[in-house]
Chain A
Amino acid sequence: MNHRRRKALQTGAGLGTLGALIAAGLISPGDALAQDWKAAFETRSLQDTLKALGGTTAAESKDITITAPDIAENGAVVPVAVASAIPKTESIAILIDKNPNLLAASFMIPAGTDPNVGTRVKMGQTSNVVALVKADGKYFMASKEVKVTLGGCGG
């Protein structure tokens, strides 16, 4: 048996495994954080992504506005902006339905920041762009189809 590993497990068994490991200098805080949400970026379905982000169900909402072109000529650069009018919006995630891994980006919105973010994403093919908004502990979603004439993955 690997005794060092046993010991590490025991020390970290209580609360704050992550904290204990960081304190022990075993992993840097950056690594620990990366592990935390890395899982969400590796999911392959909407349901799994939602679960990895800590939600169970997401209700359709008309209060989320997705600004993206109807037709994107170049899938490598698709401008997407998401605005949420839901009060107490905590985070906004942008998902591309048919990409190998759905989650493209997730944004944490502290109080005082407008729940309105914009970026550019890659899209492999014509697909729905899904915005997942967490507000007051609940999840809401909206989607918009973007047609892609030239794929952004591979090539």
Chain B
Amino acid sequence: MADPMKIRATLQGDTVEVRVLMQHEMETGQRKDAAGKTIPAWHIQQVTATNNGKPVLSAQWGPAVSKNPFLSFKFKGGAKGDKVQITWTDNKGEKRTDEVVVS
């Protein structure tokens, strides 16, 4: 299992700002190892975010997103105490979900 994400969700006025730091290799599939063999691609393909179960963002990523990806977005209609949940799925089918309370 991958390392936990660092998520911060803060309410500013009527907007909730969410910042996420994920832990992932994000291997492009274009690099070669010392023996000249291509290192297979391994990257996050899909990210979904929900606020109290309601989807607020979904993203599809390619290998061009940096290692240990960072994501920030804002949504309206959130309140303090709401639960923001982020899930990612990589191209090996591995998943990770983390949750944070809006402050």
Interface, chain A (partner B; CB < 8 A)? 30, 33-34, 37, 40-41, 76-79, 81, 96, 99-101, 103-110, 112-114, 116-123, 152-155
29 contacts between A and B (CB under 8 A): A30-B46, A30-B93, A76-B67, A77-B67, A81-B72, A99-B64, A101-B63, A104-B61, A105-B59, A105-B65, A106-B59, A106-B61, A107-B73, A108-B57, A108-B58, A110-B55, A110-B57, A112-B76, A112-B77, A113-B75, A116-B74, A118-B70, A119-B69, A120-B65, A120-B70, A121-B65, A122-B64, A154-B31, A154-B32
By size class, the interface of chain B is 20 to 34
Which residues of chain A are within 8 angstroms of B103 by Cβ–Cβ distance?
A: none
Interface, chain B (partner A; CB < 8 A)? 15, 28, 30-32, 45-46, 55-67, 69-77, 89, 91, 93
